[in-house]
């Protein structure tokens, strides 16, 4: 027995899940999606608007509330902690991985296949990033994978388990409360296509359970929408039309935009297109049923995502699950085949192995050149990462030459664990702005506590600034003298000097205290995403003494 079989079947995935999702959890900077979620959760706590969320004082109905409720609960327990905010997302990453492993074990009835699929999944960089970000995507897909597992298990059991139908329905409802129908369309629907065409479970006597599942799913997933529609019908209708139309009008791309989908698999990008060679594998692959099932699931998922006009690479996140299982069928095929691979399989294995070996061999060099020389990596981290990389390189070379796929998977996962343990802080530093000066410095200023923050209503405020300063920054007509005087004392966030933004008559009636000029850009000046909207002056305005 090895760690890839029954005795150790939780040890490896459990260890690597902890490293993948929890090591250096605060290393990466926040992005706009994370800022929106945390700001909305923060206002749930401060304003008590748990059922009708707001973001910077305005209704925030575009996203379902479950992840934001969790964000609000975390904020009430551990205020102003980015690490704490990211822990639930990390737990969702673990949940998704666990149920992927369990589903793979049901499908193939092999521990080595299930663990291999989980390890491949854990080394997909998009999953790693989403599992370290307090946003919505990881929630809906994690809950849906758990629902798929319980649905599959009860469909293939001889005895009828209404309890599992109920559990599957509840999890589907939680998925809907996390991001609406996204996981239903991108993960569940293609799975059902593969289930119906390949596995074909016997449905006799189980339709009542399916009906119960749908009923529970509707009750759990729809109640908030019904409540919202009754309380704010006009706003809810506007949001509904806005969200549905954005699928057709926003970020539209041609149907073939996702042709590079296999690159989202990162280190497995060679094996994924190789696994799509149906004409070759259908006659040779060892796990035939598993191969056809995961291939159908993968292709159905890709086709359905391609049909939606709105396309972003992060929308490919659900595709990682069937792709990981598909790659696992090829890896287990190489393990089970007694004879040496020839032709296409031989070259696929070699190209995959030697490409990975080349990349791993370059890690110490890249760490020195881009880390040590630029001062963002210390010698201790570089030395430890080098030891991990060289050890893994030896294992990858051995695995490639001797056709040992499980050794190869273990070595690749070890490299990722090394990067997450030793190099992730450097990655976060690499995206920093040495010349930056964040408005976050004002969050704890005692003299500003309790004072309202405003920005000019003619200049939209970035939500990242609201997140950094830890309070609302509301719009205000700074040219309306009477209105401004009624709000004093207050703090204004402006892109120009306060004396340029306020009318001269108002300047004569007030005292101003400048808190300086702030640059909240995550990257230095000269980079593509450097934005003037993050450059602001902060000024305290009060009545003249």
Grade residue 248 by pLDDT with cuts at 50, 70 and 90.
Answer: low
Helix (H) or strand (E) holding 518: strand 510-519
| Residue (of 98, 247, 90) closest to 171 by Cα position | 98
Whether 8 shows a pLDDT value over 60: the answer reads no
* Cβ atoms of residues 297 and 353 within 8 Å: no
Q: What is the spatial distance between Cα 514 and Cα 497, in angstroms, rounded to a whole number?
A: 9
Q: What is the spatial distance between Cα 495 and Cα 480, in angstroms, rounded to a whole number?
A: 18
| Residue (of 516, 376, 382) closest to 434 by Cα position | 376
State residue 9's pLDDT score. Answer: 61
Higher pLDDT, 341 or 418: 418
Grade residue 241 by pLDDT with cuts at 50, 70 and 90.
Answer: confident
State residue 1's pLDDT score. Answer: 38
pLDDT tens-digit map of 422-431: 998 887 777 7
Helix (H) or strand (E) holding 453: strand 453-456
Grade residue 433 by pLDDT with cuts at 50, 70 and 90.
Answer: confident
State residue 343's pLDDT score. Answer: 84
pLDDT tens-digit map of 301-313: 999 999 998 888 8
The region of weakest confidence among 235-239, 322-326, 495-499 is 235-239
For 335-379, give the DSSP string: HH--SPP-HHHHHHHHHHHHHHHHHHHHHHHHHIIIIITTTSS-H
User: Average model confidence (pLDDT) for the chain?
Assistant: 91
Work out the end-to-end distance of the chain between its first and last CA atoms, rounded to an integer number of angstroms.
81
- Give the CB-side neighbour count of residue 17, counting CA atoms within 13 A: 21
Average of per-residue pLDDT across 507-530:
88
Whether 201 shows a pLDDT value over 80: the answer reads yes
Q: What is the spatial distance between Cα 534 and Cα 461, in angstroms, rounded to a whole number?
A: 9
* Cβ atoms of residues 21 and 94 within 8 Å: yes
Displacement of CA 183 from its chain's centroid (Å): 13
pLDDT tens-digit map of 356-386: 999 999 999 998 888 888 888 889 999 999 9
pLDDT tens-digit map of 156-199: 887 768 899 999 999 999 999 999 999 999 999 999 999 999 99
Q: What is the spatial distance between Cα 52 and Cα 160, in angstroms, rounded to a whole number?
A: 40
What is Dmax (Cα atoms) for the chain? Answer: 91
Residues 6+ apart with CB under 8 A from 425: 24, 27, 381
Average of per-residue pLDDT across 412-433:
88
pLDDT tens-digit map of 445-493: 999 988 999 999 988 999 999 999 999 999 999 999 999 999 999 999 9
The region of weakest confidence among 293-297, 371-375, 412-416 is 371-375
**What is the signed CA dihedral for 95, 297, 62, 311, rounded to 10 degrees?**
120
State residue 339's pLDDT score. Answer: 75
Burial class, 375, CB count within 10 angstroms (exposed 0-12 / middle 13-18 / buried 19+): exposed
Grade residue 392 by pLDDT with cuts at 50, 70 and 90.
Answer: very high
Residue tagged 């704010």 (tokens):
232
State residue 90's pLDDT score. Answer: 97
């Amino acid at each position: 027995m090895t760690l890839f079989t029954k005795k150790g079947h939780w040890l490896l995935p459990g260890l690597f899940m902890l490293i993948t999702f929890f090591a250096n959890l605060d290393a990466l900077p926040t992005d706009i999606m994370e800022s929106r979620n945390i700001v909305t959760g923060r206002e749930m706590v401060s304003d008590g608007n748990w059922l009708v969320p707001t973001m910077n004082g305005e209704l925030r109905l575009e996203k379902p509330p479950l992840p934001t409720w969790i964000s609000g609960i975390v904020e009430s327990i551990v205020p102003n902690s980015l690490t704490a905010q990211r822990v639930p997302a990390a737990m969702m990453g673990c949940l998704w991985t666990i149920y992927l492993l369990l589903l793979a074990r049901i499908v193939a009835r092999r521990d080595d296949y299930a663990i291999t699929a989980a390890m491949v999944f854990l080394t997909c960089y998009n999953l790693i990033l989403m599992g370290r970000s307090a946003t919505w995507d990881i929630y809906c897909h994690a809950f849906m994978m758990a629902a798929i597992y319980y649905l599959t298990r009860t469909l293939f059991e001889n005895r009828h388990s209404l309890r599992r139908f109920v559990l599957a329905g509840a999890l589907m409802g939680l998925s809907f409360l996390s991001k609406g129908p996204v996981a239903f369309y991108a993960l569940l629907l293609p799975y059902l296509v593969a289930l119906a065409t390949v596995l074909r479970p016997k449905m006799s006597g189980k339709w009542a359970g399916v009906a119960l599942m749908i009923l529970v799913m509707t009750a759990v997933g729809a109640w908030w929408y019904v409540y919202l529609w009754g309380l704010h019908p006009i706003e809810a209708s506007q949001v509904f039309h806005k969200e549905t139309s954005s699928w057709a009008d926003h970020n539209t791309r041609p149907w073939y935009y996702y042709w590079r989908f296999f690159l989202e698999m990162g280190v497995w990008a060679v094996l994924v297109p190789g696994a799509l060679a149906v004409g070759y594998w259908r006659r040779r692959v060892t796990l035939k049923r598993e191969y056809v099932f995961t291939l159908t699931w993968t292709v159905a998922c890709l086709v359905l995502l391609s049909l939606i006009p709105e396309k972003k690479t992060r929308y490919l996140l659900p595709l990682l699950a069937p792709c990981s299982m598909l790659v696992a069928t090829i890896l287990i095929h190489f393990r089970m085949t007694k004879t040496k691979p020839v032709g296409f399989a031989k070259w696929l294995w070699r190209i995959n192995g030697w490409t990975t070996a080349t990349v791993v061999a370059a890690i110490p060099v890249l760490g020195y050149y881009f880390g040590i020389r630029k001062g963002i990596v210390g010698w201790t981290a570089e030395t430890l990462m080098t030891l991990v990389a060289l050890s893994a390189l030896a294992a990858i070379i051995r695995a490639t030459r001797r056709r040992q796929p499980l050794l190869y998977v273990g070595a690749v996962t070890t490299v990722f664990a090394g990067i997450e343990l030793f190099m992730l802080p450097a990655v976060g530093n690499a995206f920093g702005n040495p010349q930056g000066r964040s408005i976050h410095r004002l969050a704890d200023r005692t003299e500003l506590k309790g004072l309202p923050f405003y920005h000019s209503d003619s200049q939209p405020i970035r939500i990242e600034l609201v997140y950094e300063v830890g309070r609302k920054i509301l719009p205000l007509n700074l040219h309306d003298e009477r209105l401004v005087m009624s709000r004093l004392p207050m703090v204004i966030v402006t892109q120009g000097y306060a004396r340029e933004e306020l009318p001269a008559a108002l300047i004569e009636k007030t005292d101003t205290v400048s808190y300086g000029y702030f640059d909240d850009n995550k990257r230095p000046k000269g980079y593509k995403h450097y934005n003037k909207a993050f450059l602001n002056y902060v000024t305290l305005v009060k009545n003249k003494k």
